[in-house]
Chain A
Amino acid sequence: MRWLRRRPAGPLLLPAMLWLGIFFFVPMAFMAYKSLETVHVDLTYAQHYTFNWKFSNYTDNISQYKSQFIRSFLYAAIATVAAFVIAYPLAYVIAFRGGRWKNLLLLLVIAPFFTNYLIRTLAWQTILADNSIVTRALDAVRFLDVTDKLGWTSSHRLLATPFAVVSAITYNYLAFMVLPLYVSLEKIDPRLLEASLDLYANRVRAFLKVTLPLSLPGVFAGTLLTFIPATGDYINAEILGNPNTRMIGNVIQSKFLIFNDYPAASALSFTLMAIMLVFIAVYAKLLGTEEVTTV
């Protein structure tokens, strides 16, 4: 079997790895170095950094911004679950019932995400405005009463509430959920479906026992590609949120841009990354995918 012959994968792999090495990992190393520095602002506003293994940068900042961390993970998790619930049926329908129209439908799914992230989020500002059709309609069907009680909205409005932030995050990352799911579902041999229908009494069991497990790589990729950027997102919280919905991304941004407190910002960023990497490893184990990073 000639294709099993080992060829050096090096030349194929090298350019990409070199690029990532220089422009991702080296800066990360700088950042790690910076996170262990102490910053001192002197009389002329000049900042001086001393490298002194300041691990308290980590402990101090984590305890101070605990609630923002937790909130970010919570919002991202809710958004991911919501995105999954919304995206899976869509991906399923396109993959299995799309037929000739598969690619066209996929195009329709991706198309809205060709518009700019900021414009989309600002559009939600218009759509969810206090006097908009959507808000008034939801108010009329008492939806806002329920969400007010739950604390998701307040004062019968949608803007500047956790609900707006989470639903915008869900929307903005939906494509990242649909695409991997579709890719994975589409690869499933339809004859397996037919066989499963022969084996199981109903379609639901067939789905749960055959389709869903086969689509797990896609589920894994989709949930990660959604959850991870959602956790670090700050634009949705900034445009559609209020002071009580601030996420860790907002904190890092302000630490970096307002305080110019690079050690603290770096420490917070590394913490965020570390937590997410741990999460990914645990998640991978749970799902039983042997290699964390393969799809």
Chain B
Amino acid sequence: MSNERPLSDLDRMAFARGALTRRDLLRRAGMAGGALAGAGLLAACGSSSGGGSSAVASSGGGAPSFPHTVSSNWTFSNWPLYIDIKNKTHHPSLDAFDAKYSTTTKYLEDIEDNESFFGKVRAQLEAGQSIDRDIVTLTDWMAGKWVALGYCETLDKSLLPNVDANLSSALKGRSIDPNNDHLVPWQSGFTGIAYNPKLTGRDLTSISDLWDPKFKGKVTCLTEMRDTLGLVMLDIGIDPTQCTVADAQKAVDAIQPHVADGQIRRFTGNDYAADLAKGNVAACMAWSGDVVQLQLSNPDLKFVIPDKGGMIWTDNMMIPKNAANPYNAHLWMNFYYQPEIAAMVEDYVNYICPVNGAKEALVAKDPSVANNPLIFPPQSSLDNVNVFKALTPDEDLQFNQLFQGLIGG
């Protein structure tokens, strides 16, 4: 336990919420950690039903314990169309995993929106109940919330050597997960501008281009607050990595007139893709992976990172509290971080791969994907994108309220 860092208030509260369970205590025998952790665990268990106490501090950072036996099935919840797929029914990566470990993966594509998914399972999480899923994939800001709230299990890094070895360095040590012991990145993505040159008549290079009166009613923005406000902030010269509520207000004020006069047709989730495909929309804020997919059927469509900067976000795998099969979850995370498997997935998903080595693994099989700058972006792109600031709960509320007022309440 020598490399523990002292527990912050946040962590202590997270542990007090039951990060260590009775189950852990019972299975402690024979696990890495030894007597010291055991003692800390006992103390923690005593206090796990109440508030935090100083006894908890001594058990901080301990490896979670669960039996290292493969369960016969487990559940993986993800966003739709976010994994490789063959013949519309199989997921070769999952099939390979199932074959290797003699297990059955139940793959659910039931996360369509961070907030609504959270809203759906929140009550159970708050009550300390399992949500019947062993991995969920959530975007960084929501993942950060879950970590802070103690809704994800701490990872056993000894089971994740591939992650340690192959995770892109840009995604290590993030503020939402400084020790990389709760989240494992699944895919990243750019937020920028997608447009149809046939409908716009010209190339677009900045967010201001979206406000061109010629495109009135044919422009959409995203319901994802951090993406929309982030891009607009960059456009008006504010740094979204360090923005304040006042900055958010400025960004909202910049967008408001375009909502009022109908320049912005509506605010969308992924459904901007449908509008783009149908020609309802000439230009919009968009996510890189969707556009790569759309370009397959309409090669004219273009995606650009605005000159003044774009946004980058990451969807992360995490194990929800009291998941039934954490060992399987760990095995999968480790499995995915092999370059060949990541390449297999990347070939279909077309977002930004967090696994080093996947590009090389893919070059032979599918060079068009391997060399696609939206999937394996060059450093110049990566330099021009920003991660939205990690907001405090209070800021989160205020930012959201401002944004909701913008998109109609």
Residues on A facing B (Cβ under 8 Å): 41-47, 64-65, 67-68, 125-126, 129-131, 154-155, 157, 159-160, 241-246, 250-251, 254, 256-260
Contact = CB atoms under 8 A, between A and B. Distances in A.
A157 B217 contact: yes
Contact of B148 (A45, A67, A125, A126): A45
A160 B217 contact: yes
B80 interface: no
A155 B278 contact: no
Nearest to A155: B217
B149 A243 contact: no
Contact of A251 (B13, B264, B278, B409): B409
A44 B149 contact: yes
Contact of B265 (A45, A46, A125, A242): A242
A258 B409 contact: no
Interface of B: 9-10, 13-14, 113, 115-116, 118-120, 122, 126, 145, 148-150, 216-217, 259-260, 262, 264-267, 274, 278-280, 392-394, 396-397, 400-401, 404, 406-409
Nearest to B14: A44
Nearest to A125: B274
B300 to A, nearest CB: 15
Contact of A43 (B150, B266, B393): B393
B119 A154 contact: no
A259 B397 contact: yes
Nearest to B145: A45
Contacts of A155: 216-217, 262
B266 A242 contact: yes
Nearest to A126: B278
A44 B10 contact: yes
A45 B400 CA distance: 14
A131 B279 contact: yes
B121 to A, nearest CB: 11
Nearest to A244: B408
Nearest to B225: A258
A259 B118 CA distance: 10
Contact of B259 (A126, A129, A244, A259): A244
A103 B198 CA distance: 52
Contacts of B116: 257-258
Contacts of A257: 113, 115-116, 118-120
Contacts of A157: 217, 280
9 contacts: A42-B393, A43-B9, A65-B409, A68-B408, A126-B278, A243-B267, A243-B408, A254-B404, A258-B404
Contacts of B9: 43
Contact of A131 (B149, B278, B394, B400): B278
Given A45-B145, A155-B262, A254-B404, 9 more contacts: A41-B397, A42-B393, A46-B149, A68-B409, A157-B217, A242-B264, A243-B266, A244-B262, A259-B401
Contacts of A241: 266
Contacts of B122: 260
B393 A243 contact: no
Nearest to B115: A258
Contacts of A254: 404, 409
Contacts of B404: 254, 258-259
Given A44-B14, A46-B149, A159-B280, A243 B264 contact: yes
A129 B408 contact: no
A265 B74 CA distance: 35
A22 B61 CA distance: 44
Nearest to A243: B408
Nearest to A245: B408
A45 B151 CA distance: 11
B392 A43 contact: yes
A160 B265 contact: yes
B409 A246 contact: yes
A243 B10 contact: no
Contacts of B216: 155
A60 B9 CA distance: 34
A242 B262 contact: yes
Contacts of B217: 154-155, 157, 160
A41 B409 contact: no
Nearest to A39: B397
Contacts of A65: 409
A244 to B, nearest CB: 6
Contacts of B119: 256-258, 260
A28 to B, nearest CB: 17
Sort A-B residue pairs by CB-CB distance and give the 8 closest, nearest first.
Answer: A246-B408, A257-B119, A243-B408, A155-B217, A258-B115, A242-B266, A41-B393, A257-B116
A259 B400 contact: yes
A165 to B, nearest CB: 11
Contacts of B260: 244
A157 to B, nearest CB: 6
A76 B122 CA distance: 32
A130 B408 contact: no
Contact of A130 (B278, B393, B406): B278
B130 to A, nearest CB: 19
Given A41-B397, A131-B279, A154 B262 contact: yes
A243 B278 contact: no
A150 to B, nearest CB: 14
A151 to B, nearest CB: 10
A46 B125 CA distance: 11
A196 to B, nearest CB: 50
Contacts of A41: 393-394, 397
Contacts of A260: 118-119, 122
A260 B150 CA distance: 17
Given A45-B149, A242-B262, A250 B409 contact: yes
A217 B298 CA distance: 54
Nearest to B392: A43
A48 to B, nearest CB: 11
A241 B278 CA distance: 17
Contacts of A251: 409
Contacts of A67: 409
Nearest to A154: B262
Contact of B393 (A45, A68, A159): A45
